[in-house]
Amino acid sequence: MRRLPLYRVDAFADAVFRGNPAAVCPLPAWEPDALLQAIAAENNLSETAFLVWPADPVPLRWFTPRQEVPLCGHATLASGLVVLACLAPERDSVTFATRSGALVVRREAGTFAMDFPALAVEPVGRVPAALREGLGVDADQVLVTREDPNYFVLLEDEGAVAALHPDPRALERLHPFGVAVSAPGRSADFVSRYFAPSYGIPEDPVTGSIHCALGPCWAERLGRGSLTARQLSSRGGDLALEVRGDRVELRGKAVCYLEGEVLLP
């Protein structure tokens, strides 16, 4: 029987049972993609991160319960915690090699800071019927990004975002696009929620990657690069952002909930 280490981390949280749980599985070398996908499906979390250790930079990939994705924030934060707190606690930073380029996670004053690419958004030409049907609201503005395929729906206030009761069956028809909904916040500069049912994620608790687009979007609207954000899922999560040209720094806390092993025949 083979044994693979497995960590479960609550990302963008300062205590367990909050934020977004991610699994992190360090590997001595890449396993077949079918096995990685099966492990992610078995974990049944929004993301399972697989990294090859030791290496420099550290190869990193992310899998939802249904497929691999090109970018993930909370599972990168979780992977940074595993490397910097468990695998190499003497280090202050780690560079991951990913499909979205080099991503650096560093320890910073009780939090973890992540250097991510800014994602360009553009107005959508025609709002898909499934998006209107799935959200059940008239959007003030709908944007889209192609690099990490998502629609971004801007609403008038935090209450409108919190009150949404989307239809996952309608939103699933938008694949490969997920749907982020955002508005000015009362307790933060802006708030959001994120839905990706076609990836096996009816609602993601806290989604770092969408803030690579929302950060620049709200920085332009608010006229400043330093922002706070809150995701309004049932678990909730908080992020701090610094928008710097074509990069976005995401900062948040993370805590390890579980250490164990995957047992393979």
Active site residues: 47
Q: Which of 163, 169, 151, 166 is nearest to 191 (CA)?
A: 163
Residues recorded for the chain: 265
